[in-house]
Structure 1
Amino acid sequence: MTKTLRLIFPQWQGGNNPNYVFGSLLLGHIVPPGDKAETIQIMIDEDTSQELSIENGVIGGDGLLKQMSEATKVLVEKAPDKVITLGGDCSISQAPFDYLHRKYPDSLGILWLDAHSDMSTINDSQKGHMHVLGNLLGQGAPQFAEKVCHPFKVEQVMLAGLKYEELRPCDHQVNDLKMNYLTPDKLVDDSRLIIDWITQNQFKHLAIHFDLDVLSPQDYRSINPGKPYLEIEKFPAPVGAMTLEQITRIMKDVSEQTEIVGFSIGEHLPWDAINLRKALESVEIFRD
């Protein structure tokens, strides 16, 4: 019998954004429950009042390493066949994808649905969520990359929805490593190019990283650039251009070609719920 483990992983230090905690917990209620999956919440440092220090070249690095180690421990003890991870910032994918690569060493590919590369080094950025895919490739932040016991090869990864024309200097490894990538315009009408990549590499299993920031804030508002009253043109990073309908089509199409054994969702920022919660916290009756 196939064993599925659902990790609720409200890790926030990788993006240095405490709002990711609530976003992760809310995802636990939004995502369809499934009939047989076991759910475990990874314990994190919930003290968001203190400014994070830089450790190992990464903001909040020690806490991140501790939490990733805890996630790895849970995965090894539970030994699931499939892992669903509900974050949290994008660094939540490191432990489960590394675990799955050990379980499926010769047949696993990664589909990284993201407007950004997540392949920066500590010389480019000190935020852990910007290193995670680099870590999984044995690059990224050294103290984190060395924790990856089963690194992936470039050909095992497809960046889909990447805003390649807006790459920043911190994204240089996309070109340095000659990564496979597909821009949003290549995925508007069909998933053929992703299917071709799966077929050519004979991937029997697939791990999907779904950064909600791959979506356009005009289509889906619960993301960083979807913050109320934000002027999009002033957002300091490339803004996603895909629709939820397109992403759903891709998921369905790839599931007909290979078995999805890993699925991470990151960067969930439900602004209306976050703002309502903060507003109510200021009212005395809700503090009793």
Structure 2
Amino acid sequence: MTSMHPSGPGALRLIFPQWQGAAGAGAVGSLPAGQPHQTQLSYHLGPALLELLSPAHEGPTAFVPVSTDTSDEAVETVDGIYAREAVLRQLREGLRLVSEVDPASVVTFGGECSVSVAPFSYLAARYGPDLAVLWVDAHPDTGIPGDSYTGFRSMSLSTLAGAGDGEFLAALPAMVAPSNVLHIGLQDWQDPGMANKHRLGISSVGITDTPEDTRRILDWLALTGATRLAIHVDLDVLDRRDFTGSTGNGTRGVRVPDLLRIMDALGDAGEIVGLSLAQHAPLELLRLGGLLRDLPV
């Protein structure tokens, strides 16, 4: 399996603890009264834990500075995007950091789903139409400003594909043609972003726990002609029998062995130059932190 990892001297590990793309104080669950934004801030803690638990990294590491200001002004919804100023500023900073390193590949630990926009846009500029994006997620993330949900995480893939807020699009060095984007494991077919997904023409492959899923993904990849892959994995796509550290949808998600089988096959079919892990929401650790604040330690 080590052959599929985008690691080595040419790889950048990007730590991007952005949480502002998850709109609303109750975005990822409930915590004791008096901590209305701690559920969102759990996305800020998740990337550090991913970095801590990951194998040693040979290449450079970059940290995107992310504000933890939860004041009403800081999280104001502007032009249909929650915390728009912070999200746009941090997107630009992420792009700047990646561009300065100019890596051949990027592994990103997030944060909510929008952390993939900066590194994948950089990779699209570097590799052009030879880059395919595989978006492994329970949700489409193809919303646009004006939809009922204002969190930018729900607009991350549509922005990457060239549809969305003009200032965000102007910040990107490149976009990915919708024909080079594949959804994997999509579960929320009622999401407001589905209309834009269909308009863009982004294809989907469901996961049925069989090798047939892998064949359909590889057939799609062959049709694109792309040989380099950027893979976004939203941890909420995982079945809760295997992982509970996100906001998944019970026991109907992707099983971990199936995800690893697909990743292994993709690593054989092309060069994985981008890999993002997003939506790690360690709520139990935040609850523990709340307990520690109340104990005489």
The reply to whether TM is greater than 0.5 is yes
Q: Following TM superposition, where does structure 1 have runs of at least 4 consecutive aligned residues deviating by more than 4 angstroms?
A: none
Structure 2 Cα separation of the partners of residues 56 and 32 of structure 1: 41
Aligned to 1:68: 91
Aligned to 2:151: 127
2:226 is aligned with 1:203: yes
Query: By how many angstroms is 1:88 displaced?
Result: 0.2
Structure 1 Cα separation of the partners of residues 53 and 71 of structure 2: 27
Contact 1:75/1:96, CA 8 A, preserved across alignment: yes
Aligned to 1:170: 193
Structure 2 Cα separation of the partners of residues 60 and 117 of structure 1: 21
Contact 1:111/1:157, CA 8 A, preserved across alignment: yes
Contact 1:57/1:141, CA 8 A, preserved across alignment: no
- Please state whether the residue corresponding to 1:172 is helix, strand or coil: helix
Amino acid at match of 2:268: E
Amino acid at match of 1:169: P
Identity among equivalent pairs (%): 30
Aligned pairs for 1:21-170 within 5 A: 21-34=44-57, 36-48=58-70, 50=72, 52-124=75-147, 125-163=149-187, 166-170=189-193
**Match for 2:266 among 250, 254, 271?**
254
- Please state whether the residue corresponding to 2:280 is helix, strand or coil: coil
Give a deviation string over 1:44-73, Cα, whole Å, max 9, x none. Answer: 102235561012321101011111111111
Contact 2:9/2:59, CA 8 A, preserved across alignment: no
Structure 2 Cα separation of the partners of residues 170 and 103 of structure 1: 28
Give a deviation string over 1:114-152, Cα, whole Å, max 9, x none. Answer: 011000011112110000000011113333223223111
Aligned to 1:277: 289
Contact 1:91/1:128, CA 8 A, preserved across alignment: yes
Structure 2 runs not aligned, ≥5 long: 1-7, 24-39
Deviates more, 1:171-180 or 1:9-18: 171-180
Structure 2 Cα separation of the partners of residues 174 and 196 of structure 1: 21
Structure 1 Cα separation of the partners of residues 12 and 238 of structure 2: 26
Structure 1 Cα separation of the partners of residues 284 and 257 of structure 2: 22
**Over aligned residues, Cα RMSD in angstroms?**
1.9
Structure 2 Cα separation of the partners of residues 284 and 10 of structure 1: 29
Matched pairs, number: 271
Structure 1 runs not aligned, ≥5 long: 227-231, 233-238
Aligned to 2:5: none
Contact 1:24/1:268, CA 8 A, preserved across alignment: yes
Query: By how many angstroms is 1:77 displaced?
Result: 0.9
Contact 2:140/2:191, CA 8 A, preserved across alignment: no
